[in-house]
Amino acid sequence: MPGDHGPRRNHHQRGRRNGDGEDGGAGGRRGGGGREARGRSSYNHENGSSSTLKPVLPSYPIMAGIGEFSAILAAFFWALAAVLYKVGLKNMKPFPAVLVRTAAAMGFMFLLNIGLHGYDLTIPLIAFLFLSLGGLLRLLLGGYLYFRGLEYASVSRVLPLIFTFPLFTMVLSWLLLKEAIGPEVVAGTVLIVLGILILSREKASGSEKDPGMGILFTLMAAICYAFSIIASRTGLNYVEPL
């Protein structure tokens, strides 16, 4: 009868629709899997371009250890440099020593820049001003105060104190750049102040002229280093590091 054919057709249509979706255990899911496989294929039929899948390389513990090894090596060179400075200051005043160190550093960086970028030394004026200020505070004024600290106190007393400059840098970042300071910084401040007090109470060795003056000069150098970092970071907003 004509009235019976409509429901049958609707039933068969629903069956086919269910087959497309539920049979998705087989059909739907296979279709989805096919679409995913086509999405991963190396040829894109939409724009006619081909691409090669790049394998994800696993991260090995040895790669993570390179950073720690580099940091330890850098700390070793810092300590070695402080000992060499101390030896050199026996036959030279602090200010000429600073000039020699600055000239050597500038000459090396100039040759490195030529090797990387040629003779193009063009930089924006604002970057030049901030980076020059950072260099004067770090290499000249800060270096002079650091050498004066080594002149009056031992390397074992001066070197820990000069590394208080990150603390001063965070405080200056909060004051000048409006960066937030968390409770970790406050706790670190307390620990650093306690360390300074402990170092200042240590008895002077025979090679030290005046530990108190050495501590004072070294802390002033650390403050100069902190101002230098703020100025240099501002200048680097306008130019590449090298």
Count of beta carbons in the 10 Å neighbourhood of residue 167: 18
pLDDT for 234: 87
Residue 242 clears pLDDT 70, i.e. is over it: no
Q: In angstroms, rounded to a whole number, what is the distance separating the alpha carbons of residues 171 and 91?
A: 37
Range of the domain at 189: 66-235
* Top-ranked range on mean pLDDT: pick from 20-34, 107-121, 188-202: 107-121
Q: In angstroms, rounded to a whole number, what is the distance separating the alpha carbons of residues 234 and 211?
A: 35
Closest CA to 196 of 160, 156, 149, 147: 160
Tokens read off for 147: 């050498």
Q: Which pLDDT tens digit goes with each residue over 5-57?
A: 444 444 444 444 444 444 444 444 444 444 444 444 444 444 444 444 444 44
pLDDT for 148: 93
Q: Which pLDDT tens digit goes with each residue over 118-156?
A: 777 778 888 889 988 998 898 889 999 999 999 899 888
CB 162 within 8 A of CB 219: no
Q: Specify if 34 maps to a domain.
A: no
Q: Specify if 3 maps to a domain.
A: no
Q: Specify if 36 maps to a domain.
A: no
Which amino acid does the sequence have at 139?
L
pLDDT for 63: 52
Domain count for the chain: 1
Q: Specify if 145 maps to a domain.
A: yes
Q: Specify if 40 maps to a domain.
A: no
Range of lowest pLDDT (18-22, 62-66, 94-98, 171-175): 18-22
pTM above 0.85, yes or no: no
Range of lowest pLDDT (11-15, 205-209, 212-216): 11-15
Residue 218 clears pLDDT 90, i.e. is over it: yes
Q: Specify if 140 maps to a domain.
A: yes
Q: Specify if 204 maps to a domain.
A: yes
Q: Specify if 30 maps to a domain.
A: no
